[in-house]
Structure formats: structure tokens, C-alpha cells
Chain A
Amino acid sequence: MKQAIKIGLIGGVVEILLSLIGMVEAFSQRDIIAHVISMGHTLLIIVALFMGYLAAKRTPGKGSLWVLANSFLSGLIVGGLVSLLVIVGSLIDLRKVFVNAMPVLYELLTFKQGTQIGVFLLLGAGALSGVLAGLFFLSPKLLRRVLLISLGSVVGAGVLQDLLRPTFSLWGPLAIINEWLFTANGLTIQGAIGLFVLIAALLLFWSRKGSVIQTGFRQLPPAPQRILKMSGILILVFILLILPQVLGLFLSEVFTIVGLYVLLGLGLNIVVGYAGLLDLGYVAFFAIGSYTTAVLTSPELGFFSLSFWEALPFVIVMGVFSGVLLGTPVLKMRGDYLAIATLGFGEIIRILVLSDFLRPWLGGAQGIGKIPKASIAGFEFAGPQQIYYLILAGCLLVIFISLRLRDSRLGRAWMAMREDEDVAQAMGINLVATKLLAFATGAGFSALSGAIFATKLSSVYPHSFNVMISINIVCVIIVGGMGSIPGVIVGAAALVGLPELLREFAEYRLFVYGAALVAMMLLRPEGLWPEAVHRREFHEEEEKEAESKSSLELKSG
């Protein structure tokens, strides 16, 4: 009971905060389902539902009535606190402190029914959300999954409507779906219900037949199994290849940005995820890659005026070399000290390229422009739809190298070093070489990414390489799952792609970003797509039953 009150109070405070900073109001501009529910209300309901679920989960005895009572109570308190805000707001003008506490907000919160009826509606809505969450908690696991994913898809489709609508309208046959699914603002009612039913049906089908299909697949002889796998990969490659044509300009641009972060993330993943060396100055290598490309190719400076491809090997070598250069002085440092030292290195590089002293060579604050585009046999990687292919190729190459490295002798040395540096040494691992190789490989990947970045923008400026980039990349690999390659891709999509897609709410971007990071660390500290070793650490009990496969075949080399 105490728990439920506490959770309810937290939820209420969160909702009041969201309202007062204007997030609810801003989100209400967009409807999830046209004329039925807006994003703002969805946000409030999600908070109430989550708190109700939490209250249900924390109920000491497992009696269903108690669970429901607790979730009801927490929902009621959430609603109560919000109504309190409405009442206070109707009596006192809060706008002097909270500029967003406008009448529009109260209208939204009271469902345009005026203060008195609105307060009751709010209490009711809160309590109802709580009870629904409680019922959700009590329902069987399959139902919970289906409900969660189906509802999530509907909300997701609503949130990303601006993305899906133009994409669908590019293609004739999809345009009909477009008409049926979307209005100018929000999903149609039949569209929302249809989508919900479709996803739910798919999930139910998979839960019934999924294991049958999987075992059926495993029982197939190896030859057809391989053919099926290969065709799966081919389809994936085909989709990746036609993606920019289907998605159009804006989305291709988003994809290239995500792709660049994937490249950077994969590089840092070697340093942090594989070798366990926390590097907060990783942007330095990105800058070195970009600036080396600029200096070698830009006719503006007129030193070399190489083409992109001629410059690329030098860029990579430069990256690797600077990796070793940074690595050497910090060889003996560990953990926090290493992080601070590398942070310093990142800033040094940024200040160097900004300096007046190096202006004749690096352009100072004006940066370097007129960097040529890359081209192969007359095909110029000019706009985002073309650069996409360049980045895709880079990502595939780096993923391939990462995979091979992970399973190599060097990969095992990195892993040992990450787990325990002293013992790794006692196992006969050369710490100096192993560390330097990690820094060098990571820096090489980052320099490649920097080269593509430079030709993408056709120019480089010092301010593109601030410390936030380093922090962002670290976040990408932590959220994705340390040491996991698919994790990097998922992390980049979630932390870089989503904010790009939700540009209209740019004011709240950092707020959501921060909140999402905190929530991630609380709910899923191992990352969205964790690597086996880390999953074990956080979910030992579950793993014990599942046969943990020993993926570490010792390679002679």
C-alpha cells in the first residue's frame, strides 16, 4: 500500500513536470489516432499505465485483489496530482514561473470539459489506467506480449506517421494503404484497429507455430537450410540496396547520419566493448580522419588535391597512427583515469584544428571547403541517396572486420584484458601490443567514418568535432549493448535515428534523451541487444537453463 502511494506520487509528479515544461501541449499537436487521441494524452496515459504496472508488480502478496487495489490506488494518485495542478492553475496564474502553464494546457488536461468535470474525468482516467495496468499485470504472459507489441506498433505508427506517409505515397500500390491508414494528422480509426489486429494476429500465429517452423527449419537437411539462409541474406541485401530509392531524400539523409554513427560506434566498440578501455576522446580520430581527407583532397588549400579514393589509404593510416600515438602515453592508465586522459586528447585535437597557428594548413574556425565528392566509374556519391551506398559499404566492411577480429586470437586477448588486465598478463598476453592494437583499430574505423563525413558535407569545421560526439558514441554502444555488433546498429538507430525523425520536438530532444538513458540503465542495463558475456552477467538464472554455447573456439594463429 505504501509502495503504491509512493509510486503514484512519483507518477503524478512526472506528469505535472511533463505538463509544465510544455511537452504535453507540444505533443498534442500531433494525433496518434485522428480526433481520438493525441500524442500528448498518450504520453500521460503511458506514464499512468507504467506506474500502475509498477505498483502491481511491487505488491507484496500476490492476491489478485490486492494487486488491483494497489494499481488502482497509484493510478488514482497520478490522476489526483494532475487534477491538483488543474485546480491550482485555475486559482493562481502559474505563468509567471512556468511559461507553459497556459489555458490551453488546462483545456488539454481536463479534456475541454472545464475544471469541475475535468477533475473528475482526470481522477477517473488515472484510476482506470491503473486498473488496466493491474489487469495487464495479472493476465497471462502471451496476452501481455501481444497487447504490448500491438499497442506499441499502433503508437509507433502514429508517432512516425510523417515518416511512413511520404514513404508509402512514393509507391503506387502502397498509396492505397496510405489512404486507408492515415489522415492528414494521425491514424484513421479503422487503420489503428486494423493495424492492431494485424500485428496481434501475426504474433499469435508465431507463438503457436513459431517453434514448429523453427524445428522444421532445423530438421531440414543442410543444403536447403543453407539455401534458405542465403536467400534470406540476399533479400536483406536487396532491401538495403533499394532502400534510398524507396525512402526518398529526407530519410536517406537520416540513414546516412545513422550509418556514420554505426561506423563510429563499431570502432569505439572495439576499444570499449572488446578491450574495455573507456575512451572519451574518440571524436579526435573522427576529426583526424575528416581533416586529413580535407587537407589531401580540397583544392581550396591546394596542397595535394587528391581524389577521395587516393586520399583514403592515407586517411586510414593517419587514423591508425594517431591511435597508437594516443595509446602510448596512456598505456598504464585504467578506468576513470584513462577516460579523463582520452577526454583531454579529444579536446586537444579540436583546439588544434581551431587554432590560428595552424590556420594556413587547417583553415582555423572557417574550416576547409570544396572537398570533392567520391565517385566510381562516373557514379558520383553526391547527395544522401548516393552517399548512403558509400556508408553501407563502409559499415559492411567494418562489421566483417569486427566479426573476424572478435573470433581471432587478438579478440580473445582483448576479452581477457577487459575482464582482468593483470590476469590477462599472467596468461601470457602482451598488454602493450594488445592495447595499442585496440586503439589503432578503433581509430582506423573512426578515420574512415571521418573521411566519409568530410566528403558528405564537402567541408569540415572545428565545431563539428566537439565532445558531445564522443559522449554520444559512448551512449550508442552502452544503450546498444557493450561489445555487441547488432547492438551498435540498434543503439545508433535508437539514439541518433529517432531524434532525427522527431525533429519537430527538437526542444525536448535532450530531455527525452536523458530520460531514456536513465530508464535504460534502470530497466535494461545490459543494452538493447547485448553480447553473450554481458547477458550472462545480468541474467544468470535464466541463462543457466538455456544451454550456454561456447562460442569461443580457440583459433590457432
Chain B
Amino acid sequence: MPYALCVVKVEVMALLEIENIHTYYGHIHALKGVSFDVNRGEIVTLIGANGAGKSTMLKTTSGLLRPRQGSIRLEGEDLTRYRPHEVVAKGVVQVPEGRRIFGRLTVKENLEMGAFTINDQRLVESNLERVFNLFPRLRERQKQVGGTLSGGEQQMLATGRALMANPSVLLMDEPSMGLAPVLVDIIFDTIRQLHADGTTILLVEQNARMALQVASRGYVLQTGAILLSDNAENLRRNEMVRKAYLGES
């Protein structure tokens, strides 16, 4: 009976596994052994105050910063040895903080630039169609210059641009930053929609209230280390989180 010898690993591997990451800025120890994971189809949020290391964690994941220790695995493959552009090709794509769209290019050109790693023209077309369906506003304005869009539309464009690369994990860095409350609602609606579409998202947000509403799980980061981790529901109820990050008393 040869089959009896096979040992089946029952534990499901997470899509993105971050293990014991230490990142330095020069001498400053910015991340002190951060570990967490993101499962397929999940929204995971990192919340924390200014300087807690949220953006540093995202930059380390996307390869812009190199950790001194630890591993970041996508479907088991270590990403820390890749350079940023290779990480994108592997499927980890970042929506940069502050949107950073190409202000002088048109909406369509911006989106096409997002599909830089994809060589199949038909795939680019279908991705474009998908983004336009997700953000009908962008279809209307596809010939408009990026810099003339409103803040909310620019965030949609930045998100759409990242989606053009067929990400298996989307890293979102402060999508609500600098937007009016109405627009923040719209942005979080689209995040929910992305989630419904099956996109895996790692969301870094200062607006913890909104982030915990869309996320399934959350990690609280403080001075470079994970302080708390739980599902979003529990975090929302947690006394400490409510006081420190949700502004309740």
C-alpha cells in the first residue's frame, strides 16, 4: 500500500507569511521582529500610531527596504532576496502612500503603466476592462490628465493602476490619507468591493475605525513590534484599542 506512506500536510499555508522581520534605518531599529500572515482572499490591516512602523513594514514587503533579519514568503517563496521590480512581477503590488499617480499622463496611460510587468496585450485589455467596471468614473475620464482628477478619483486611479498588474496581494498604504470624509467612505466601499472580488489586501491605515470595519483580521503595531493581534471584531471591542486608536473613552 504505497499511499499509506504519504503524509498529507493538513495545515493550510497562508498566502503571505511574514516572519520575525527586523528592518533598520541606518542605526534606528524600526521593525523589531514583526510576524504576521495574510490568507488568500482576506483583508488584513495593520493599525498603529505615527511612526509605529506600518509603512516601514509595507516597504519591506515590497522590497523597497531590505530587512536585516527574517523572511517574507509568498506562497512559500522567500521575497526578501528579490529587488522591488521583481517583487511586483511575483504578484505583490503596492498602492503607494499619497497616491502618487502620474499627474501628466492620462488616466488610461496611468493604468497601462500599471500593467508594465504584463506582456500579454489581451490580458492588459481584460484587466483594463475589469478596472473600468470596478471604477466607472475612471472609464468616463480615461482621456483626462491624471493631475486634474479629484483626490478620491486619484485614489481610485492609484488602486486601479496597481490592479492592472494582476496582484495576488495588494498592499494599500494609507488610502484615506488627505481625503474628505465622504470620499473616505467611497474608498472603503471600493475596498469592500475588491474583497468581494476575491482580492487579497494588506491594508495599512491610520483611520483604524474604517480599517477595522472592512478587515477580517488586524494587527496593532507599536514602536516596531506587534502589540495585539485578533480578528477585527474583537479588536474593535478591545478596551485598549478603543482608547488609543478609535478615540473613544
Contacts and interface: CB of A to CB of B under 8 A. Distances in A.
B121 A554 contact: yes
Nearest to B162: A426
A422 B112 contact: no
Given A419-B102, A550-B108, A550-B109, A430 B116 contact: no
B94 interface: yes
A419 B106 contact: no
B85 A431 contact: yes
Most chain B CB inside 10 Å of its own CB: which residue of A413, A420, A425, A556: A425
Interface stretch (A6-14, A59-67, A141-149, A532-540): A532-540
A41 interface: no
B143 interface: yes
Contacts, number: 83
Interface in A425-454: 425-431
Given A423-B96, A550-B109, A556-B121, A430 B83 contact: yes
B115 to A, nearest CB: 7
A550 B84 contact: no
A211 interface: no
Given A419-B105, A533-B105, A550-B109, A426 B116 contact: no
Contact of B103 (A415, A419, A425, A427): A419
Contact of A420 (B88, B102, B109, B162): B102
Interface in A372-427: 409, 412-413, 415-416, 419-420, 422-423, 425-427
Contacts of A215: none
B174 to A, nearest CB: 14
A557 interface: yes
A422 B119 contact: no
A542 interface: no
Most chain A CB inside 10 Å of its own CB: which residue of B108, B116, B117: B116
Given A425-B84, A533-B104, A556 B96 contact: no
Interface residues of A, number: 30
Contacts of A427: 88, 113-114, 116-117, 161, 165
A219 interface: no
Given A533-B104, A540-B148, A550-B106, A428 B165 contact: yes
Contacts of A415: 105, 113
Contacts of B120: 556
Contacts of B143: 547-548, 550
A552 interface: yes
Nearest to A537: B104
B79 interface: no
A431 B88 CA distance: 13
B176 interface: no
A94 to B, nearest CB: 51
A426 B88 contact: yes
B105 A554 contact: no
Nearest to A419: B102
Nearest to A425: B84
A420 B101 CA distance: 8
A164 B89 CA distance: 60
Contacts of A431: 85
Contacts of A550: 106, 108-109, 143
A422 B85 contact: no
Contact of A423 (B102, B119, B121, B145): B102
A556 B94 CA distance: 23
Contacts of A420: 100, 102
Contacts of B121: 554, 556
Given A548-B106, A554-B112, A425 B64 contact: yes
A422 B95 CA distance: 11
Contacts of A543: 145
Contacts of A557: 119
B94 A416 contact: no
Nearest to A427: B116
B109 A552 contact: yes
Most chain A CB inside 10 Å of its own CB: which residue of B104, B117, B124: B104
A167 B4 CA distance: 97
Given A425-B85, A426-B93, A412 B113 contact: yes
Contacts of B94: 426
B145 A422 contact: no
B17 to A, nearest CB: 22
B116 A536 contact: no
Interface string B72-105: 0000000000011100110001101000111111
B220 to A, nearest CB: 26
Interface in A79-131: none
A134 to B, nearest CB: 35
A429 B102 CA distance: 14
A277 B105 CA distance: 19
Contact of B113 (A416, A544, A556): A416
Contact of A413 (B100, B116, B119): B116
B104 A428 contact: no
Given A548-B143, A550-B109, A554-B124, A422 B100 contact: yes
B85 A429 contact: yes
Given A540-B145, A552-B109, A430 B119 contact: no
A430 B88 CA distance: 10
Nearest to B87: A428
Contacts of B199: none
A426 B116 CA distance: 10
A194 to B, nearest CB: 46
B134 to A, nearest CB: 19
B115 A554 contact: yes
A552 B83 contact: no
A537 B106 CA distance: 11
A430 B86 CA distance: 8
8 closest Cβ pairs, A-B complex: A428-B88, A428-B117, A419-B102, A430-B85, A427-B116, A423-B100, A425-B84, A428-B85
Given A423-B96, A426-B96, A430-B85, 9 more contacts: A416-B113, A425-B64, A426-B64, A426-B84, A429-B85, A429-B116, A552-B112, A556-B120, A556-B121
Interface of A: 409, 412-413, 415-416, 419-420, 422-423, 425-431, 533-534, 536-537, 540, 543-544, 547-548, 550, 552, 554, 556-557
19 contacts: A413-B116, A419-B104, A419-B105, A423-B102, A425-B85, A426-B84, A426-B93, A426-B162, A427-B113, A428-B85, A428-B93, A428-B165, A430-B83, A430-B85, A534-B104, A550-B143, A552-B105, A554-B115, A557-B119
